[in-house]
Chains A and B, each alone.
Chain A
Amino acid sequence: MLIRDTSEGYGLISRLFHWLMAVVIVAMFILGVWMVGLDYYSPYYNSAPDIHRSVGMILLFALILRWLWRIGNPKPTDEDLSPLERTASFAVHWGFYVLLFALLVSGYLISTADGDPISVFGWFDVPSVLQARGLETPAGKIHRILAYATIALAVVHSLAALKHHFFDKSTVLTRMWSGPNQSSEKDRHE
């Protein structure tokens, strides 16, 4: 099994990053929307944000590792896309990195604005590096906007993947799921 990416497709590490982060990010969005509406007397009033913060910090580390992995590996080809689609795909993919980074940092700033660290499941603390009076409120507003923007981009990305798969008979979706070799051959002969 391929660990690294090739020009043909994505290796195991990239595919794990992609699908695990996709699932976790969507789950975090749902958790976030749900938890901010919790009643003060809900048993999850404290634990839900704790989980959200912990997972958020892990996502931030994962994003940085994923970006390092991305720039350290060859980029699989997208030559079967039109020039316009290629530009759009570039914008969406790098848009995800920028949006997610800003989203995760803004979330981090909400919790650390007074100098408190974020405890990641009680395993370790992420210290506060930036404190400012009242920072938590603008950080929270930005966090919310970026969360919706990320999900909007995810919808665009998913619809584009489905469009390439079903209408263009492209291998972009299958190669992200099962790797480069087997699917590319199969799909070309369909």
Chain B
Amino acid sequence: MKFKRAAFAAPLAATLMSVPAVAADYKIDTENAHAAISFRIKHLGFSWLTGRFDKFTGTFSYDEKNPDASKVKVDIDTASVDTNLALRDKHLRAADLLDTDNFPKATFESTSIKTTAPGKAVVTGNLTLHGVTKQISFNAEHVGGGKDPWGGYRDGFTGTTELTLADFGIKRDLGPAAKTVELTLDLEGVRQ
């Protein structure tokens, strides 16, 4: 039996029968780079400096009928940091910032998702960065989804959060305007 997006599948029925989550599993399309992990931080308070992590992998599950049952997990290769300047990237990898020799991986794994409006949710989970695990929340949005032209099925999301560097043990003083960094995940997944 297939679940259809039938209009008569009333919310009441769903509640009564407590339909098991039929969340589909997705692999984040990093292979063809329809996903990005980017960040931006204020430079001296004068402008935004943007960068990204070029290498990461991840999966998510998504059930459009019950988005709160969705899950997401992302593994980031911290040494793949790229701000379009070799000297800065080298410094970002160094011991006083990301310390990628000792902490080559950063991970985010969701623990709870709460829908706030249609297509919008707060995604809470644990971020491990610089060896420190901390609970953070993304303001996330379902961008779109459906059949792709090549026989697959895709869904895509974007989510943004703000991190305080010192919370993750990154003590390098980049100035008063650069205590926090905005982190954005743009994730398109291919249904498996």
Residues of A within 8 A of B (CB): 39-41, 49, 110-114, 116, 133-137, 140
Given A40-B173, A40-B174, also A137-B79 (CB < 8 A): yes
Inter-chain contacts of A41 with B (CB < 8 A): 173, 175
Inter-chain contacts of B93 with A (CB < 8 A): 137
Once the chains are docked, how many angstroms separate the CA of A110 from the CA of B84? 14
Question: Can you list 29 A-B contacts with CB-CB less than 8 angstroms, sorted by A residue number?
Answer: A39-B173, A40-B172, A40-B174, A41-B173, A49-B87, A110-B86, A110-B90, A111-B86, A111-B87, A113-B86, A113-B90, A114-B85, A114-B89, A116-B85, A116-B86, A134-B79, A134-B80, A134-B89, A135-B86, A136-B86, A136-B87, A136-B89, A136-B90, A137-B79, A137-B89, A137-B90, A137-B93, A137-B100, A140-B90
B27-58 residues with Cβ-Cβ distance < 8 A to A are: 54
Inter-chain contacts of B89 with A (CB < 8 A): 114, 134, 136-137
Once the chains are docked, how many angstroms separate the CA of A114 from the CA of B87? 9
Nearest B residue to A40 via CB reads B174
B80 to chain A, nearest CB (A): 7
Which residue, A112, A113, A116, A134, has most C-beta atoms of chain B within 10 A?
A134
Once the chains are docked, how many angstroms separate the CA of A113 from the CA of B89? 10
A45 to chain B, nearest CB (A): 11
Inter-chain contacts of A133 with B (CB < 8 A): 54
Overall SS of chain A's interface: loop
Once the chains are docked, how many angstroms separate the CA of A126 from the CA of B87? 16
Once the chains are docked, how many angstroms separate the CA of A40 from the CA of B42? 13
Across the A-B interface, give the 7 residue pairs with the lowest CB-CB distance, nearest first.
Answer: A113-B86, A114-B86, A136-B86, A136-B90, A137-B90, A137-B93, A140-B90
B76-127 residues with Cβ-Cβ distance < 8 A to A are: 79-80, 84-87, 89-90, 93, 100
Inter-chain contacts of A135 with B (CB < 8 A): 86
Size category of the binding interface on chain B = 10 to 19
Once the chains are docked, how many angstroms separate the CA of A110 from the CA of B94? 13
Once the chains are docked, how many angstroms separate the CA of A135 from the CA of B80? 11
Per-residue CB contact flags for chain B residues 69-81 toward chain A (1 = under 8 Å, else 0) read 0000000000110
Once the chains are docked, how many angstroms separate the CA of A135 from the CA of B82? 12
Inter-chain contacts of A40 with B (CB < 8 A): 172-175
- For the complex with contacts A111-B86, A137-B89, 7 further pairs of A-B residues with Cβ separation under 8 Å are A41-B175, A110-B90, A111-B87, A112-B86, A116-B85, A134-B80, A134-B89
Once the chains are docked, how many angstroms separate the CA of A112 from the CA of B87? 9
Nearest B residue to A128 via CB reads B86
Once the chains are docked, how many angstroms separate the CA of A76 from the CA of B104? 52
Inter-chain contacts of B100 with A (CB < 8 A): 137
Nearest A residue to B178 via CB reads A40
Once the chains are docked, how many angstroms separate the CA of A41 from the CA of B44? 9
A151 to chain B, nearest CB (A): 21
A48 to chain B, nearest CB (A): 13
Nearest B residue to A112 via CB reads B86
Inter-chain contacts of B84 with A (CB < 8 A): 114
Once the chains are docked, how many angstroms separate the CA of A41 from the CA of B80? 26
Once the chains are docked, how many angstroms separate the CA of A133 from the CA of B100? 15
Which residue, A39, A113, A135, A136, has most C-beta atoms of chain B within 10 A?
A136
B135 to chain A, nearest CB (A): 29
B135-192 residues with Cβ-Cβ distance < 8 A to A are: 172-175
Which residue, B80, B89, B90, B172, has most C-beta atoms of chain A within 10 A?
B90
Inter-chain contacts of B79 with A (CB < 8 A): 134, 137
